[in-house]
A and B are shown apart, each in its own frame.
Chain A
Amino acid sequence: MKKSVIFGAAAIASVSAMAAAAGTLDDVKARGKINCGVTEGTLGFSSRDSTGRHQGFDVEFCRALGAAIFDDADAVEYVELSSKNRFTALSAGQVDVLYRTTTWTFSRDVDLKTSFVGINYYDGQGFMVPKELGVASAKELEGATVCIETGTTTELNLADFFRANSMEYTPLPVGGTTEAKALFEEGACDVYTTDASALAGVRASLKDPSAYLILPEIVSKEPLGPTVRHGDNEWEDVVRWTQNSLVAAEELGVTSANVAELAAGTDNPSINRMLGAEGNLCEMLTLAPDCFVKAIAATGNYGEIFEKTIGESTPIGLARGLNALWTEGGLQYSPPFR
């Protein structure tokens, strides 16, 4: 019990030191670290490498936040949350922001009292079946047993899809990707359904990927994005515009390689405003004047992040698709920095 005394005393001390309630941004600054909620392991989006470091698409956005606020991309503490406990953890203040492949929906935004501040990945729900099932379309899945992760939007979409096509199915609820994959591979369920981005990674890691087929139908919209607590607008702005800066950087041709050079000033006023050569956008966020420069330098722009974590050169091998810039036929679009 004496061990607890140390921490008890520390807790009392910290209560008395910071009795005044403050916004998340102030809390984060006082703490010197961002608590970032990520998945407990989704190939490409957030996982730990052999040295125990977090890496992945979502992790890069947390790192960008760390760089923007503290000029230190490692000033992030990752909290690995399951799909079930993520919103509790967020609203309880265990994490400051969720970068956890979370779908933006009406009820989560309005009813759950969370705020979605952007979309970092446009996803959709897909189905994977073993080839020997002899199914070529999701509409032929009448009577199938479906492995489905609990507490996700995919669970609800699945019910909608089968009802809309007046088909019956047996759900087999599972706790996470790992469990789902093991069950699917053993043949406990005929169909595995989740976001198409994750599906590609799961298929690649199966024992014999060629024996499985991802069906052509994408049955839902899954806009994945960062989530913060309702009603904390300063913090929301920081998260939103840090992410926007990465998208805008790609559009403006700013990369991790040339950002330092461009920050000195260019002929393009949009770049100058964003990188702080003109105006004081970062200071309006109460951050250091070169906050976006730090963010882009630490992680690269949106395109660079995509390519190095989930892009076609990685084992996940996702095409940009909907996540290409709006100028290239995709949906990624940043409001102007001015």
Chain B
Amino acid sequence: MSDLSYVRTEMLEQKAPPASSVGLVGWLRANLFSSVGNSILTVVTLFFLLSLLASMMPWIFLGIWNADSLSHCREIFAERYGDSTEYACWAVVRDRWDQIIFGYSFGNLNEGLYWRPLVGLALIILALLPILYPNVPRVLYVATAASLFLYPWLIWGGSIWGPLTIALCIIAGVFIYRFASRFMIMAFAMPVAIVGTALLIYFAMAPVAGALGSAVPIELQSVPSREISGFVLSITIGIVAIVASLPIAVLLALGRQSDLFIVNKLSTGFIEIIRGVPLITLIFVATVLMKYFLPSSVDLDPVLAVMVLVTLFTAAYIAEVIRGGLAALPKGQYEAADALGLTYWQAQRLIILPQALKISIPGIVSNFISVFKDTTLVSIVALNDPLGISDSIRSDSDWNGIVWELYGFIAIVFWLFCFSMSRYSLWLERQLQTGHR
């Protein structure tokens, strides 16, 4: 009697998945042609993409980099391609890129000053490193402090002793605070220190800076505010707004959450007023209308006025983003902090804000990106942002008639900055990921 039962002793070899579900074909089927409807959409989209590219690519890549003027470009097109089709005249970018990036003040007008904005930017990057990345040596905070005074000096020029004297006054202010806080509580020591610093700057700055300047003259060719233009202007305003607005925004958000009546109402009022008015109006008021109220001999620095306004504007928006983060924290976190016996500021610093800010990162960064792009609004007060410079390049008879090449170049530079900000925020979110949501 034979035993017919059969038990297989070894496992079957795993078979390769069917060809239609792996590799390129599989990916295409899964992602682009998974159903009739999707297939139609894919084909239509591809058609539009290809026809767009087909018309753009020749324009971009058959463009000309070597020419003296737009008409020269057109001559070359006619000669080389023999038809009247327009191609990109990139020669304008080659000829004028330095004006768009560095503006007029460091461009050809004062040959050889490019190093100033470049060193300034390097300094800013160095200064931001310890703030942006946790693993960078803490020594770099020195650069952070130094850049606050050196960057304006590099951009505006003049004597180095002005910014340095202010730095000294502020250090003195810190000592005033230390000294005063031995005798009184913080709420009084702070105003005393601030008033002391202001008085020091007001009375001591001019003579001290003047004396130091005549003893050891270290000066850079000074640059009038109105001549600061191009991406140097955008980046300067953008960085100031981004760096200065965050602390203000945190205070405003906390103020709005606060139980103290006056603090609460002031913060709410500030935020709502600033958010209720378009940025362009604020900038216009700050630079043009303010001149109506001030004596005619006061020269309001237009760049400075714009910086202050853009900072306050950004702060109001970010304050609301942060308030969202604060509201998203479970009540237990606040209660736990109280239960540990932490003071208000300790609780905010150690428990609440780190979590709230972490939640708010995407919102904050998207505000930063939008404020950086908003810097182009300064054209309303006759400052030359990169777009303004593109206008004046076009009003030169050589390049009159160029549009897309300049806008394209400016767009790419803006995109580079904004894209790096957005990548950084993604990286930061991953770094701060603790696993619980």
B162 proximity list for chain A (CB < 8 A): 6
B307 proximity list for chain A (CB < 8 A): 3-4
In the bound assembly, the distance between CA atoms of A41 and B240 in angstroms comes to 29
Q: Is the CB of B395 within 8 A of A42?
A: yes
In the bound assembly, the distance between CA atoms of A178 and B401 in angstroms comes to 8
Q: Is the CB of B308 within 8 A of A13?
A: no
B304 to chain A: closest CB distance in Å?
4
B178: interface (CB < 8 Å):
no
The closest CB in chain B to the CB of A96 belongs to: B296
Contacts known (A85-B382, A89-B288, A92-B289); A40 close to B395, Cβ less than 8 A: yes
Q: Is the CB of B292 within 8 A of A92?
A: yes
In the bound assembly, the distance between CA atoms of A315 and B394 in angstroms comes to 15
In the bound assembly, the distance between CA atoms of A22 and B99 in angstroms comes to 37
We find that the number of chain A residues with CB closer than 8 angstroms to chain B is: 62
Most-contacted residue by chain B among A9, A24, A89 (CB, 10 A): A9
A89 proximity list for chain B (CB < 8 A): 288, 382
Contact with A along B192-210 (1 / 0, CB 8 A): 0000000001100110000
B90: interface (CB < 8 Å):
no
B338: interface (CB < 8 Å):
no
Q: Is the CB of B109 within 8 A of A178?
A: no
Among B95, B288, B291, the residue within 8 A (CB) of A50 is B95
Q: Is the CB of B163 within 8 A of A93?
A: no
B152: interface (CB < 8 Å):
yes
Among A6, A9, A52, A93, the residue within 8 A (CB) of B152 is A6
A49 proximity list for chain B (CB < 8 A): 396
A307: interface (CB < 8 Å):
no
Among B206, B292, B384, the residue within 8 A (CB) of A80 is B384
A94: interface (CB < 8 Å):
yes
B107 proximity list for chain A (CB < 8 A): 51-52
Number of A-B pairs whose CB atoms are under 8 Å?
A: 148
Among A41, A42, A205, the residue within 8 A (CB) of B401 is A205
B281: interface (CB < 8 Å):
no
Q: Is the CB of B396 within 8 A of A21?
A: no
B298 proximity list for chain A (CB < 8 A): 11, 14-15, 18
Q: Is the CB of A77 within 8 A of B152?
A: no
Interface of A is mostly: mixed
A208 proximity list for chain B (CB < 8 A): 84
B148: interface (CB < 8 Å):
yes
Q: Is the CB of B391 within 8 A of A41?
A: yes
B370: interface (CB < 8 Å):
no
B335: interface (CB < 8 Å):
no
Q: Is the CB of B395 within 8 A of A92?
A: no
The closest CB in chain B to the CB of A5 belongs to: B166
B201 proximity list for chain A (CB < 8 A): 5, 9
In the bound assembly, the distance between CA atoms of A89 and B74 in angstroms comes to 39
The closest CB in chain A to the CB of B226 belongs to: A77
Contacts known (A2-B149, A92-B288, A181-B401); A80 close to B382, Cβ less than 8 A: yes
B226 proximity list for chain A (CB < 8 A): 77, 79
B3: interface (CB < 8 Å):
no
In the bound assembly, the distance between CA atoms of A40 and B326 in angstroms comes to 46
In the bound assembly, the distance between CA atoms of A93 and B288 in angstroms comes to 8
In the bound assembly, the distance between CA atoms of A12 and B149 in angstroms comes to 19
Contact with B along A172-185 (1 / 0, CB 8 A): 00001110011001
Q: Is the CB of A41 within 8 A of B395?
A: yes
In the bound assembly, the distance between CA atoms of A93 and B290 in angstroms comes to 10
Q: Is the CB of A3 within 8 A of B99?
A: no
B135: interface (CB < 8 Å):
no
B294 proximity list for chain A (CB < 8 A): 15
A164 proximity list for chain B (CB < 8 A): none
Q: Is the CB of B392 within 8 A of A47?
A: yes
In the bound assembly, the distance between CA atoms of A31 and B107 in angstroms comes to 25
- The residues of B with any CB-CB pair to A shorter than 8 Å are 70, 74, 84, 86, 95-96, 99, 104, 107-109, 148-149, 151-152, 162-163, 166, 170, 201-202, 205-206, 224, 226, 240, 244, 287-289, 291-292, 294-301, 304, 307-308, 311, 380-382, 384, 388, 391-398, 400-401, 403
**5 cross-chain pairs, A with B, having the tightest CB-CB distances, nearest first:** A41-B395, A205-B400, A52-B104, A18-B297, A47-B395
Given contacts A206-B401, A316-B397, 20 further A-B contacts (CB under 8 A): A7-B301, A13-B206, A14-B298, A14-B299, A18-B298, A40-B392, A41-B392, A47-B392, A47-B396, A48-B104, A48-B393, A50-B398, A51-B108, A53-B109, A79-B226, A80-B388, A89-B288, A89-B382, A181-B401, A205-B400
